[in-house]
């Protein structure tokens, strides 16, 4: 792992900002409504735990441990996460497509940062 | 069999409860621990099913298969039923069935169950799936730390079951103890001092209470005086107001910490990059485009099995050959010779006879269709495809102020709307449940009706079928859209687990199908007979003719249908498909033009499904709601039908 993110550094990134294949640590679920927060915690989407985004459309698909969860963007955008970690094999697409997706994901994040400034 | 009293009620002095997350193999283990005699019944006061069976290896003991739960304190109906089992049943042992590949989640529940002070064993199931994914667990270390027997199992292949049975004999009360933050510990000791004795330890009851568990609340209400209950309520309210996190969250986070420490000790995860066929297909099924292709294939297979095999071949065999040529002539002759009074004989075998109409209809026409449908639905349910369908359709349901979970009752409604009404409990809140019920009552035709509607429309033309489909979908979307804006409350966004796709175990599917059919025969057939009896009385007293005359302006004038169609619509009031059958006969006699076929089919589809479903809505949502839905659906069905007629005539369709 070359680019280890600073542990739990405060960012304003949410799961909705991650591209398919990216991994990140959950920081907070405070913005999620209590009923759903309880369920997310029970599924393992908890502060400090690593999640991986598998897919973004038609819904966000997350992987926590060996559990796959489908959540809507409304929920995904309320869960803050750390800077995404390395790219993991998302699915079983070809190598080229995976690389393309990774680059697209990185560009997306850079653009987002630029826009903030 | 050691059981000396194979009583029907299954009265036993102690029981073993199987508890665990959904889709971890509880039912498979259940069937391996019990004999052939199994009862499936709704838990009193709920629509959640609870399965009981006599334990094969333990005398005088029942095994209870509880509904899958995510977590306690309970939030869903299923979780409440499981909590009630813990409070009310004379439990001798709890077996937690856990998912070996999701150890964290599993242990989360284990800790909670261990706190209850009931002997506990953990069956760590699906060890094969865990191995494939590179998850390995140090079982000895886990046993040592938990002080609970842990048995690795692969239930589908019967592995580890013998060891599990052996361990059940030896289980003892767990001594596992978690120290919570001071604030919680103080609260626990305060609450404990007010609690009566119960099945579970005072400490765990106090923890459930602090987490606002509704099952614990209602149990306490019954077992302590109201003054004390009020004191406890005030104490908890005060506790909720102080501090950022609610007591429930604090308790959960403490347990998570303990679990994390434990898991770090015993779990080794290596990424093997596991890509089984199930995983591959599971991901494919939720891709935006390829997922829809898979859906189309699934729907086609479903149509072939239920529509062509069930509704076509089987119905033909049963209705025409068995009932039409063999049984009914025999019964009719028999009744007429036994009962010489014509009016009494007619009651059984006449035009609206209990046997010739009610039973023939129920057994020869509906039964084969719902049997094939329930079987297909059971396979879809156990394979893990349905949650993926929810992901795919989420956006459509969003328009109607719902989330993709609503697809489950909708698909089941294509089989039997009455049963689908029951399953609306999977929706998160009352608002969502009500919305789904409205849509079910209005726009979802059940399998019996669907068969007839499809047959009639197909005999006109493909465009007739398309018009029908578009009208129904547009009505459903716009009513849903409107209702979502009128009903108070907020839409709950999708949050759903996607279990791995698996090959369903046929014996489990069959047992479930049989249980559903039994329910169907018990609940729906009496209503068929009641409906037939009402029709008989109405016909004999002349009330039927009167009503037909009264509804003529509406049916002939507004909808532009022949006068005879009134009778079909009146029948449709009792059962939509009764009505559709009436129209089917009229079309066969050449009495209906293409426009009339489409208009009548649209109107009858939008009708209230059947008397049984109105009863079921009344039972589960209250009679007021039931009446209100009926009062909205009837005028709406006629309104849409009439408007469609004018539209079709105006554009000159079908002439």
Structure token digits, residue B256: 């998570």
* Closest alpha carbon to B178 in B72, B255, B263: B255
Separation in Å, CA A58 to CA A103, B294, B395, B396: 21, 15, 8, 11
Residue A56 reports pLDDT greater than 70: yes
Instruction: Write the residue in B248, B282, B498 that is nearest to A69 by C-beta.
Output: B498
Nearest CA-CA distance, residue B493 and chain A, Å: 6
Interface with B, mutate which of A68, A75, A85, A101 (most B CBs under 10 A): A68
Residue B12 DSSP one-character state: -
CB pairs under 8 A between A and B: 105
Write out chain B residues lying below 8 Å of A44, CB-based.
102, 104-105
Residue B11 is predicted with a pLDDT of 59
At residue B122, φ and ψ (nearest 5 deg) are -110, 115
Residue B425 is predicted with a pLDDT of 81
Please state, in angstroms and rounded to a whole number, the distance separating the CA atoms of residues B432 and B397. 11
Write out chain B residues lying below 8 Å of A76, CB-based.
none
* Closest alpha carbon to B26 in B68, B86, B55: B68
Instruction: Write the residue in A42, A70, A74 that is nearest to B71 by C-beta.
Output: A42
Please state, in angstroms and rounded to a whole number, the distance separating the CA atoms of residues B257 and B49. 34
Closest chain B residue to A35, measured at CA: B75
Structure token digits, residue B220: 């306490």
Please tell me whether the peptide bond between B73 and the residue prior to it is cis, using omega within 30 degrees of 0. yes
8 Å CB contact of A65 and B283: no
Cα angle vertex B498, ends B149, A79, to 5°? 95
Residue B299 is predicted with a pLDDT of 87
Residue B574 is predicted with a pLDDT of 67
What is the dihedral sign for C-alpha B164, B166, B169, B172? negative
8 Å CB contact of A39 and B495: yes
Structure token digits, residue B171: 């289980």
* Closest alpha carbon to B339 in B323, B327, B359, B355: B355
Contacts of B613 (CB under 8 A, 6+ apart): B417, B418, B421, B440, B441
Please state, in angstroms and rounded to a whole number, the distance separating the CA atoms of residues B124 and B153. 6
Q: Is residue A38 within 8 Å of B428, Cβ to Cβ?
A: no
| Cα dihedral: B253, B256, B257, B260 (round 10) | -160
What is the dihedral sign for C-alpha B318, B320, B326, B331? positive
Nearest CA-CA distance, residue B403 and chain A, Å: 9
Give ipTM to 2 decimals. Answer: 0.82
Output Rg (C-alpha) for chain A, integer angstroms.
Answer: 14
Separation in Å, CA B295 to CA B165, B289, B484: 42, 10, 27
Write out chain B residues lying below 8 Å of A65, CB-based.
101-105
Nearest CA-CA distance, residue B394 and chain A, Å: 8
Q: Is residue B58 within 8 Å of B16, Cβ to Cβ?
A: yes
Q: Is residue B191 within 8 Å of B210, Cβ to Cβ?
A: yes
Which residue in this structure is represented by tokens 């999708």?
A: B494
8 Å CB contact of A72 and B493: yes
Tell which phi-psi region holds residue A62, choosing left (phi > 0), alpha (psi between -120 and 50) or beta.
beta
Structure token digits, residue B593: 């033009």
8 Å CB contact of B101 and A46: no
Instruction: Write the residue in B249, B387, B495 that is nearest to A36 by C-beta.
Output: B495
Start-to-end C-alpha separation, chain B: 72
Question: Domain B182-247, CATH 1.20.810.10 — does that match?
Answer: no
8 Å CB contact of B104 and A74: no
The full set of domain ranges for chain A reads: 15-116
Structure token digits, residue B127: 């060890």
Q: Is residue B417 within 8 Å of B523, Cβ to Cβ?
A: no
Nearest CA-CA distance, residue B640 and chain A, Å: 33
List the beta bridge partners of residue B64: B17, B52
Residue A117 reports pLDDT greater than 60: no
Helices (H) and strands (E) in chain A, counts: 3, 5
**Residue B635 parent element (H or E):** helix B623-651
Q: Is A28 helix (H, G, I), strand (E, B) or coil?
A: strand
Instruction: Write the residue in B394, B493, B495 that is nearest to A58 by C-beta.
Output: B394
Closest chain B residue to A89, measured at CA: B273
Structure token digits, residue B280: 């591959």
Closest chain A residue to B212, measured at CA: A35
**Residue B63 parent element (H or E):** strand B61-65
Residues of each domain in chain B carrying CATH 3.40.50.300: 14-170
- Give the fold, CATH level 3, of A15-116: SH3 type barrels. (2.30.30)
Burial group, residue B497, by CB count within 10 angstroms (0-12, 13-18, 19+): middle
Please state, in angstroms and rounded to a whole number, the distance separating the CA atoms of residues B220 and B226. 9
Strand order across the beta sheet in which B150-152 lies: B34-42, B49-55, B61-65, B14-20, B91-99, B120-125, B150-152
Contacts of B311 (CB under 8 A, 6+ apart): B368, B369, B372, B447, B451
Nearest CA-CA distance, residue B573 and chain A, Å: 40
Burial B209-243 (b: 16+ CB within 10 A, else e): bbbbbbbbbebbeeeeeeeebeebeebbeebeeee
Instruction: Write the residue in B71, B246, B495 that is nearest to A71 by C-beta.
Output: B495
Contacts of B138 (CB under 8 A, 6+ apart): B265, B266, B267, B268
Burial A70-105 (b: 16+ CB within 10 A, else e): bbbbbbbbbbbbbebbebbebbeeeeeebeebbeeb
Residue A14 DSSP one-character state: B
Is the pLDDT higher at A1 or at B366? B366
Please state, in angstroms and rounded to a whole number, the distance separating the CA atoms of residues A77 and B379. 35
Closest chain A residue to B246, measured at CA: A34
| Count, residues in chain A | 117
Please tell me whether the peptide bond between B9 and the residue prior to it is cis, using omega within 30 degrees of 0. no
8 Å CB contact of B70 and A57: no
Write out chain A residues lying below 8 Å of B495, CB-based.
36, 39-40, 69-72, 75
Residue B652 is predicted with a pLDDT of 82
Which residue in this structure is represented by tokens 């009706």?
A: B449
Please state, in angstroms and rounded to a whole number, the distance separating the CA atoms of residues B395 and B391. 8
At residue B445, φ and ψ (nearest 5 deg) are -80, 140
What is the dihedral sign for C-alpha B85, B384, B445, B651? positive
Please state, in angstroms and rounded to a whole number, the distance separating the CA atoms of residues B579 and B565. 9
Residues of A with CB under 8 A from a CB of B: 34-44, 46, 54-55, 57-59, 61, 65-72, 74-75, 89, 91-92
8 Å CB contact of A67 and B273: no
Please state, in angstroms and rounded to a whole number, the distance separating the CA atoms of residues B261 and B256. 9
**Residue B8 parent element (H or E):** none
**pLDDT-flagged residues of chain B (< 70):** 1-12, 36-38, 40-47, 271-275, 574-577, 655
Nearest CA-CA distance, residue A117 and chain B, Å: 32
Please state, in angstroms and rounded to a whole number, the distance separating the CA atoms of residues B544 and B226. 56
Residue A11 is predicted with a pLDDT of 59
Contacts of A102 (CB under 8 A, 6+ apart): A19, A21, A87
Instruction: Write the residue in A43, A57, A89 that is nearest to B497 by C-beta.
Output: A43
Structure token digits, residue B61: 């003991």
Is the pLDDT higher at B123 or at A10? B123
| Cα dihedral: B230, B236, B237, B242 (round 10) | 150
8 Å CB contact of A69 and B104: no
Residue B593 DSSP one-character state: -
- Give the fold, CATH level 3, of B14-170: Rossmann fold (3.40.50)
Which residue in this structure is represented by tokens 């953990």?
A: B122
Closest chain A residue to B285, measured at CA: A58
């Amino acid at each position: 792992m070359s680019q280890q993110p600073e542990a739990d550094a405060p960012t304003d990134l949410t799961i909705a900002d991650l591209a398919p294949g990216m991994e990140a640590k959950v920081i907070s679920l405070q913005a999620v409504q209590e009923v759903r927060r309880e369920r997310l915690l029970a599924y393992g989407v908890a502060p400090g735990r690593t999640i991986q985004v598998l897919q973004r459309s038609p819904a966000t698909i997350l992987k926590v441990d060996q559990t796959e969860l489908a959540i809507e963007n409304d929920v995904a955008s309320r869960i803050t996460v750390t800077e995404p970690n390395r790219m993991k094999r998302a699915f079983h697409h070809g190598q080229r497509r995976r690389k393309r997706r990774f680059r697209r994901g990185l560009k997306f994040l850079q653009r987002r940062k630029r826009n903030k400034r | 069999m050691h059981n000396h009293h194979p009583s029907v009620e299954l009265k036993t002095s102690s029981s073993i409860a199987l508890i665990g997350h959904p889709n971890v193999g509880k039912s498979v283990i259940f069937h391996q621990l019990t004999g052939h005699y199994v009862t499936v019944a709704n838990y009193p006061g709920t629509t959640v099913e609870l399965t009981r069976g006599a334990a094969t290896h333990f005398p005088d003991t029942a095994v209870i298969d509880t509904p899958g739960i995510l977590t306690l304190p309970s939030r869903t109906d299923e979780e409440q039923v499981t909590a009630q089992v813990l409070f009310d049943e004379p439990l001798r042992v709890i077996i937690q069935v856990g998912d070996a590949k999701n150890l964290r989640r599993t242990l989360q529940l284990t800790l909670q169950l261990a706190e209850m002070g009931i002997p506990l064993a953990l069956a760590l199931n699906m060890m094969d799936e865990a191995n494939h994914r590179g998850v390995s667990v140090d079982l000895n270390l886990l046993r040592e730390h938990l002080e609970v027997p842990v048995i690795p199992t692969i239930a589908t292949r019967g592995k580890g079951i013998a060891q599990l049975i052996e361990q059940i004999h030896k289980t003892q009360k767990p001594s596992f103890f978690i120290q919570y933050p001071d604030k919680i510990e103080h609260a626990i000791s305060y609450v404990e001092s007010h609690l009566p004795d119960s099945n579970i330890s005072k400490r765990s009851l106090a923890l459930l209470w602090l987490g606002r568990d509704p099952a614990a609340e209602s149990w306490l209400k019954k077992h302590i005086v109201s003054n004390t209950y009020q004191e406890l309520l005030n104490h908890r309210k005060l506790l909720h107001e102080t501090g950022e996190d609610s007591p429930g969250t604090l308790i959960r986070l403490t347990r998570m910490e303990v679990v994390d420490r434990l898991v770090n000790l015993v779990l080794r995860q290596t990424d093997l990059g596991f890509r089984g066929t199930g995983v591959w297909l599971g991901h494919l099924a939720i891709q935006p485009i390829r997922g829809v292709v898979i859906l189309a294939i699934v729907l086609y297979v479903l149509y072939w099995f239920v529509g062509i095999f069930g509704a076509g071949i089987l119905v033909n065999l049963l209705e025409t050959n068995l009932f039409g040529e063999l049984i009914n002539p025999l019964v009719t002759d028999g009744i007429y010779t036994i009962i010489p009074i014509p009016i009494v004989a007619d009651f059984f075998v006449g035009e609206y006879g209990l046997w010739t109409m009610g039973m023939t209809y129920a057994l020869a026409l509906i039964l084969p269709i719902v049997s094939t449908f329930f079987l297909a639905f059971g396979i879809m349910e156990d394979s893990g495809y349905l949650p993926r369908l929810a992901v795919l359709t989420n956006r459509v349901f969003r328009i109607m102020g719902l989330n993709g979970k609503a697809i489950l009752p909708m698909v089941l409604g294509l089989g039997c709307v009455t049963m689908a009404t029951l399953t609306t409990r999977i929706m998160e809140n009352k608002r969502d449940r009500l919305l789904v019920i409205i849509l079910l009552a209005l726009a979802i035709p059940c399998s019996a009706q669907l068969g007839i509607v499809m047959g009639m429309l197909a005999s006109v033309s493909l465009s007739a079928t398309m018009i029908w489909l578009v009208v129904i979908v547009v009505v459903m979307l716009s009513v849903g859209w409107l209702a979502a804006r009128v009903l108070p409350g907020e839409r709950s966004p999708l949050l759903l687990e996607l279990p791995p796709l698996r090959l369903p175990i046929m014996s489990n599917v069959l047992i479930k199908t049989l249980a559903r059919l039994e329910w169907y025969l018990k609940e729906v057939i009496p209503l068929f007979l009641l409906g037939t009896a009402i029709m008989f009385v109405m016909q004999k007293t002349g009330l039927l003719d009167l009503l037909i005359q009264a509804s003529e302006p509406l049916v002939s004038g507004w909808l532009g249908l022949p006068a005879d169609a009134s009778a079909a619509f009146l029948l449709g009031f009792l059962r939509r498909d009764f009505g559709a059958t009436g129209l089917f006969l009229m079309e066969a006699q050449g009495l209906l033009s293409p426009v009339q076929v489409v208009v009548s089919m649209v109107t009858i589809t939008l009708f209230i499904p059947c008397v049984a479903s109105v009863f079921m809505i009344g039972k589960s949502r209250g009679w007021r709601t039931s009446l209100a839905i009926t009062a909205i659906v009837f005028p709406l069905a006629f309104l849409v039908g009439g408007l469609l007629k004018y539209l079709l005539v105006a554009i000159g369709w079908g002439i």
